[in-house]
Amino acid sequence: MTPTATRSERLRDAGAGVTLLAFSLALWFVLIPLYAGGHGDHTTLAEIAAIVIGSLSALLILLAALGIPSASATAAEDDPFLDIGGEAEPPRLILLAAVWGLFVVGLSYVGFYISGGLAVAISFLLLGIRQPLRIALWTAGSLVISYLVFDLGFKLSLPTGRLIDALLRAGGS
């Protein structure tokens, strides 16, 4: 027999599902077209992320509607994404989604490397990793791998951002 979720668990799950669904729709219809140059090959990863987030949030809403708890009573002790630390504090998953949403917005202004580096570093902090050297090495490593794969491998230049372009033009003249 499947356990039934309490009213507060159903509301929590429905609220998280609606929030994440809204984020995925905003990512697909607003953030990608406005800040990442529209849909196409260069936004495949962002599109996949929007589809996965939207699908999982729809599943969470469905579970809440059916009264099936999304987590066991002890799951918050084992999973940092479920530890909400109080009624008003949003789960880490929503904070991570917001960080990566800001990453998409940052692509247009400061480019991939600055916004990506900040997003990776902040994600580590949200996940509870506090060693500065470890964060710096993983962040630098992810940016170097991105450069090697996209710029050198696929010959796709990653966005540099309007502010960085303006600084480079000002420095070159």
Complete DSSP assignment for 65-115: HHT--SS-TTHHHH-TTT---SSSSPPHHHHHHHHHHHHHHHHHHTHHHHH
pLDDT of residue 153: 83
Quote the mean pLDDT of the chain: 83
Find where tokens 């090495």 sit.
137
What the block records as the tokens of 151 is 């710029």
What the block records as the tokens of 65 is 């509607």
In a domain, 89, yes or no: no
Going 101 to 104 to 110 to 113, the CA torsion angle's sign is positive
Average pLDDT over residues 147-160: 84
- For the chain, the domain total comes to 2
In a domain, 90, yes or no: no
Is the same domain home to 79 and 120?
no
pLDDT of residue 135: 95
In a domain, 91, yes or no: no
Please report which confidence band the pLDDT of residue 88 belongs to, taking 50, 70 and 90 as the band edges.
Answer: very low
Q: What is residue 160's three-state secondary structure?
A: coil
pLDDT of residue 173: 64
Higher pLDDT, 120 or 44: 120
Q: In angstroms, rounded to a whole number, what is the distance separating the alpha carbons of residues 42 and 169?
A: 24
Is the same domain home to 48 and 127?
no
CA distances in angstroms from 90 to 4, 87, 118, 144, 164, listed in the order given: 23, 8, 21, 32, 33
In a domain, 101, yes or no: no
Range of the domain at 29: 1-84
In a domain, 93, yes or no: no
What the block records as the tokens of 30 is 């607003």
Burial of residue 134, with CB atoms counted within 10 A of its CB: 0-12 exposed, 13-18 middle, 19 or more buried: exposed
Average pLDDT over residues 114-138: 93
Is the same domain home to 80 and 17?
yes
In a domain, 164, yes or no: yes
CB neighbours of 60 closer than 8 A, spacing ≥ 6? 13, 14, 16, 17, 20, 70
